[in-house]
Chains A and B, each alone.
Chain A
């Protein structure tokens, strides 16, 4: 496989490329199960994780993934609002270029920030979330998790519940799942559904109770509490009443279905605590798979060789 230099989004990936990431990630699961879960694949390579937006688990996940591959990891994080003045992204790019790192993992609040960096660096760039655009490694690890449970992604029926307009996770999942041929539906109040999303091959619903029994995978998106009061929905209480994953709703799901959430969860809002901790929930599997998937991504983009 001769990958593009950067991983900016799933939208531009082919089904073959998606499966190459997933297949390799499945192999790394085996590595992670070893007593010493480290391979020397990226020894001597330096990966910079550059997080301009608060995130604990994604940055940790990438750092662990890089270390499991024996890469050197340098981490930088500074939450900046999009308007805060300081060093520009352009200056950041030039500085990174001068320091000769091999790869950069970037999280940024602005859509297109990863692409911006990738166009200006020789180092490979992995998008770890650019605003409301994409979060490709999350999308891929979600598909990896689905495949572990259902084998054939083509036959899968996936329901995504929540604020799709502001969700990079939803976008990456929609692009990836549609590319491999899965059926994808979203369910949310109309104010949280972006215009023309149905033209991406997505079914759109507003009434969760009517449809929740039809799906193999039910994914709840995090509701940003600060959206309350912006006129998009009246209150968190009403949101939970209409779209929250409660025990009653989960009882109406298919027998072998699973519940996913990209985290961090607002327990008692989009997902109830007993549901998040229930047998149907694969939230911690997602986290575990995240390390393997990110190893696969780093390995492929750093030009590692498969033994």
Chain B
């Protein structure tokens, strides 16, 4: 069998608390050796001086639009984008058409991901049939088919009693419920965060309280039921504070945020560029600072992309008429490198933890480390490489990102998934 030797890189493996220059040898698709200096004359060598080698990144929250919207994304194009962004495992949300609420769709996703053979794709099944918020899906059967979590993402499970039962029922399987916290009545179909900027622009606002009200409810029910809840894309100061307090009380809660919530504040909406329109909306600078604080003190467990492809015809319209969402696979590492590690001086170990071993722990995936003997999932990053985001560079079928045309710093150069090099950066 062939061997691969990654030479001279800084290896950051949070699971092993390792941050040191090491050589990494992959043989027979497994991590064979991690040592100060390895020579293996037969191995293919990747010279990785000044690069950082991390466990393959794990994204707990993405939308692949498959089945249903091949014009926006497919498992194939989504996997291409994910692997180029350094992700070796991605978890796709069930708001597809048809919804991932039965064994057949779960099987389809695995089959298609295997055919594409790039990153691992794990389906998140719907909590309720058709994501209608009424009747629970067949958790046991969906888990047997391979669903890794449950979520009605896109919507909160609005009915308190249905959500209570979903949490209770999930305990039988120790599976996390991924909740999209939003109180729809308070959100009023808001187009952006409600505050000074929405007041100036005259755009209908979705207030922070719409998220926080729902977070509070979710935490209360998680505490009451003793079940595990994972709160998706946390974006407000108040939500971070609620979660921080609940964790101290021992509530079994984990949460994620997305790069756009720590990178942007709502002043970007002054451009009326619909690529900034996301749900929950990009919040104020005070919220952004609180998100950064929550990332630093561990209140926020992981970083997910909420990769949400939309085609140009849908996005290049009046702000009010555009759908919510931006793509995120291919820019996440750059934004993390620039903002969290560069500007806010978080350590590589702290940041990479939130994209590897912690998300793996939430879903129980046996990945997220560079342990000897484990299947090799490895991402190599050049932190200082600058690159241009262009329509041509984006592998996702949709190009809806506000970073289009911008120069970013920090580039994934190679990705090894299941022991094989699945991506290498060609300089474009």
- Are A195 and B321 CB-contacts (below 8 A) given A90-B316, A132-B202, A168-B202? no
| Interface residue B159 (Cβ < 8 Å from any Cβ of A) | no
Q: Cβ of B194 and Cβ of A89 under 8 Å apart?
A: no
Q: How far is the CA of A77 from the CA of B408 in the complex (A)?
A: 44
For B319, list chain A residues within 8 Å (CB): 110-112
Q: Answer whether residue B268 sits at the interface, using C-beta atoms and an 8 A cutoff.
A: no
Assess A112 versus B201: contact at CB under 8 Å? Given A195-B195, A195-B196, A196-B195: yes
Instruction: Tell me which residues from 309 to 346 in chain B have a Cβ below 8 Å from any Cβ of chain A.
Output: 313, 316-321
Q: In the complex the two chains form, is B199's CB within 8 Å of A194's CB?
A: yes
Number of interface residues of B (CB under 8 A): 20
Q: Are B321 and A110 in contact (CB under 8 A)?
A: yes
Assess the B195–A82 pair: CB atoms within 8 A: no
Q: How far is the CB of B33 from chain A (nearest CB, A)?
A: 55
CA of A213 to CA of B343 in the docked complex: distance in angstroms?
Answer: 53
Given known A-B contacts A113-B318, A131-B320, A195 and B198 have beta carbons under 8 A apart = yes
| Cβ contacts under 8 Å, B200 to chain A | 11, 171, 200
- Does B108 count as interface, using CB distance less than 8 angstroms? no
Say how far A8's CB is from chain B's closest CB, in angstroms. Answer: 10
Would you call A38 an interface residue if the criterion is a C-beta within 8 Å of the partner chain's C-beta atoms?
A: no
- The A23-71 residues at the B interface (CB cut-off 8 A) are none
Q: CA separation between A129 and B316, bound complex, in Å?
A: 20
Residues of the A chain whose Cβ atoms lie less than 8 Å from the Cβ of B204: 132
CA A108 to CA B316, docked complex, whole Å:
16
- Whether, in the assembled complex, A134 has its beta carbon less than 8 Å from a beta carbon of chain B, the answer is yes
Contact of B224 with A by CB under 8 A: no
A residues less than 8 Å from B321 (CB atoms): 82-83, 110
Smallest CB–CB gap between A19 and chain B, Å? 22
The answer, yes or no, to whether B145 is at the interface (CB within 8 Å) is no
Which residue of B194, B195, B207, B320 is within 8 Å of A111 (Cβ)?
Answer: B320
CB distance from B319 to the nearest CB of A (A): 5
**Contacts known (A115-B272, A116-B272); A89 close to B317, Cβ less than 8 A:** yes
A133 at the interface (CB under 8 A from B): yes
Chain A CB within 8 A of B158 CB: no
Most chain A beta carbons < 10 A, residue from B194, B199, B319: B199
Whether B43 is near chain A, meaning CB under 8 Å from some CB there, is: no
Least CB distance, A110 to chain B, in whole angstroms = 3
A110 touches B320 (CB 8 A): yes
Residue B205 CB within 8 A of the other chain: yes
Q: B46 in the interface, Cβ–Cβ < 8 Å? A: no
In the complex, are the beta carbons of A110 and B318 less than 8 A apart?
A: yes
A194 CB contacts on chain B under 8 angstroms: 198-199, 205
Query: Is the CB–CB distance between B318 and A82 below 8 Å?
Result: yes
Task: Evaluate contact between B317 and A195: CB separation under 8 angstroms.
Answer: no
- Chain A to chain B contacts (Cβ below 8 Å), 13 pairs: A89-B317, A109-B320, A110-B319, A110-B320, A110-B321, A111-B201, A112-B318, A116-B318, A131-B202, A171-B202, A194-B205, A195-B196, A200-B196
Considering the complex of A and B, which 4 residue pairs feature the smallest CB-CB distances, nearest first?
A112-B272, A110-B318, A132-B202, A133-B202
